[in-house]
Structure 1
């Protein structure tokens, strides 16, 4: 399932991970996070920076990012099962600007159960494989109209 968030009436800013993930956060504690192709604004120390092409974060590291009120301008954020060993040569080549990100149900990282793609502070794509995410996200974003 894919969601496109384009209105900041529903969230404080694009892409605010705390607001986007809040309805499903409790389901994601047993996952690692792949974060790549980043541009972001933050006033806090984070487990990500501009020195590397990508990061693989455990849940406590990602929770710092999730709680930080960081604005993701560009980037691909992907939740993968803890037992997955990511192909780093593939991850380093991924781009939020690739037109393939708009394809329905196409995950840039096949093992992902959830992907968030931030596109130039104007669109947030949320892709997920588990129906529970759809139910919980719908309850939050439909209630904010």
Structure 2
């Protein structure tokens, strides 16, 4: 239930959240979003910036990022249950360069329901805990969504 997208035939650019989350967006309303280690370009004002190491957004705040033309060049984006108390001291230390992001079923935030890692505008890694959501994602992206495990076996 871990995927990597290298090709951008379906998406305008890496990591376009509107495209990446399109097949599952409607079921993600009950989560807070943790964004850390960010580098991005946006066409409009969004509730993230370069003044802080991380952001914790509710669904409405994250929806502003989702609906914008924001390209996440680098960073970690996690959907975390609203009821979960987040360890803020750990979040600011997370990095998309951590080897754990390349390992299947390894989440930087253990309570993450979904984790997206933008890696230098060339790769988008998406990890799911829910098989149905993973299947919707894979069906939407087809052959462009490569198994992270198989990718690692071939390229790492």
> 1:43, CA displacement in angstroms?
1.8
Give a deviation string over 1:20-39, Cα, whole Å, max 9, x none: 00100011000000000000
User: 1:74 & 1:134 partners in 2: Cα distance?
Assistant: 22
**Separation in 2, partners of 1:134, 1:69:** 24
Q: Which residue of 1 aligns with 2:5?
A: 5
User: Is structure 2 residue 49 aligned with structure 1 residue 26?
Assistant: no
Alpha-carbon RMSD across the aligned residues, in angstroms, is 1.3
How many equivalent pairs are there? 145
Inter-partner Cα distance in structure 2 for 1:143 and 1:15? 17
User: 5+ residue gaps in structure 1?
Assistant: none
* 1:118 alignment partner in structure 2: 118
For residues 56-67 of structure 1, what are the structure 2 equivalents within 5 Å? 56-67=56-67
- 2:5–2:144 contact (8 Å) kept in structure 1: no
Please say if 1:88 is aligned against 2:92: no
1:37-57, CA deviations, whole angstroms, 9 ceiling, x for partnerless residues? 000001200000000000000
Q: Distance in 2 between matches of 1:87 and 1:12?
A: 34
Task: In structure 2, list runs of 5 or more residues that go unmatched.
Answer: 146-156
User: Which whole-Å CA distance do the structure 1 matches of 2:122 and 2:53 have between them?
Assistant: 22
1:53-83 deviation digits (Å, cap 9, x = unpaired):
0000000000000010200000000000000
TM-score w.r.t. the length of structure 2 is 0.90
How many angstroms apart in 2 are the aligned matches of 1:21 and 1:71?
A: 13
Show the counterpart of 2:75: 75
Matching residue of 1:108: 108
1:144 Cα deviation after fit: 7.2
Detail structure 1 runs of 4+ shifted over 4 Å in the superposition: none
**TM-score (ref. length: structure 1):** 0.97
Partner residue, 2:149: none
Which residue in 2 is equivalent to 1:128?
Answer: 128
Q: Could you say what secondary structure the match of 1:23 adopts? A: coil
Change in CA separation of 1:53 and 1:9 when aligned onto 2, cut-off 3 Å = same
